A and B are shown apart, each in its own frame.
Chain A
């Protein structure tokens, strides 16, 4: 089974702090993604990466950066956390099966910025 793990399930940070969210997948997938999920807004793509050291902006990259130094690890960085970044953060990797690209999600990190 594909396993995607995230470093924390719950995180509380203060405004202005630098925050690191780590994600690791064990299936040698090329593509990895970071989303945030908010009530009524659904899943919104922040960044994705299709190879080591490669990254592409998603729909809402402002206030975030990412790092992919190794194939299995994709990190999301909040340079200076703000209260509007309080959210559920979901990491995913993807593979191509039976006619389409399917995503495998981690358990999520619920971040509260005070």
Chain B
């Protein structure tokens, strides 16, 4: 069955640094991969999507890579701010109606 692992449950970084979150998956081949942000007590919010034929994608201070050989995605937040503190979920996905999410990495940006 599909397995999705996100690096360390919690990540603390200093404001202004780049946060790097990792998502590894096994036992399937997603056509695309999404990242979501979740604040405490709230539903996840979509951030960015990268397709299998795209190696890298950027959106404002976000950068995502997708390596289908390593079965891994890296999610970077540059010039991090305390407001970026949240849990980030990855979702390697295929066409069709089932979605699978990682358990998330809790990011804390320290002022």
| Chain A residues near B (Cβ < 8 Å) | 4, 31, 33, 40-43, 45, 48, 50, 56, 58, 90, 92, 94, 97-108, 110
State the 10 A-B residue pairs at the shortest beta-carbon distance, nearest first: A105-B43, A42-B103, A100-B32, A43-B101, A99-B51, A100-B49, A102-B46, A105-B44, A90-B43, A108-B43
30 A-B contact pairs sorted by A residue (CB < 8 Å): A31-B97, A40-B103, A41-B103, A42-B101, A42-B102, A43-B44, A45-B99, A48-B97, A56-B97, A58-B98, A90-B43, A94-B99, A97-B49, A99-B49, A100-B49, A100-B51, A100-B93, A101-B93, A101-B95, A101-B99, A102-B49, A103-B36, A103-B44, A103-B46, A103-B91, A103-B99, A104-B46, A106-B43, A108-B43, A110-B41
Whether, in the assembled complex, B79 has its beta carbon less than 8 Å from a beta carbon of chain A, the answer is no
CB contacts (< 8 Å) of B51 on chain A: these are: 99-100
- A100's partner among B31, B44, B97, B104 (CB-CB below 8 A) is B31
Measured between beta carbons, the chain A residues less than 8 angstroms from B31 are 100
- Taking CB as reference atom, which chain A residue is nearest B103? A42
Which of the residues A58, A99, A106 comes within 8 Å of B32, measured between beta carbons?
A99
B45 an interface residue at 8 Å Cβ cutoff?
A: yes
- Residues of chain A contacted by B97 (CB below 8 angstroms): 31, 48, 50, 56, 101
Q: A106 CA to B42 CA in the complex, in Å?
A: 8
Q: In the assembled complex, which residues on chain B have CB atoms less than 8 Å from the CB atom of A110?
A: 41
A98 in contact with B42 (CB, 8 Å): no
Nearest residue (CB) in B for A4 is B43
| Of listed A33, A42, A56, A110, residue having the most chain B CB within 10 A | A42
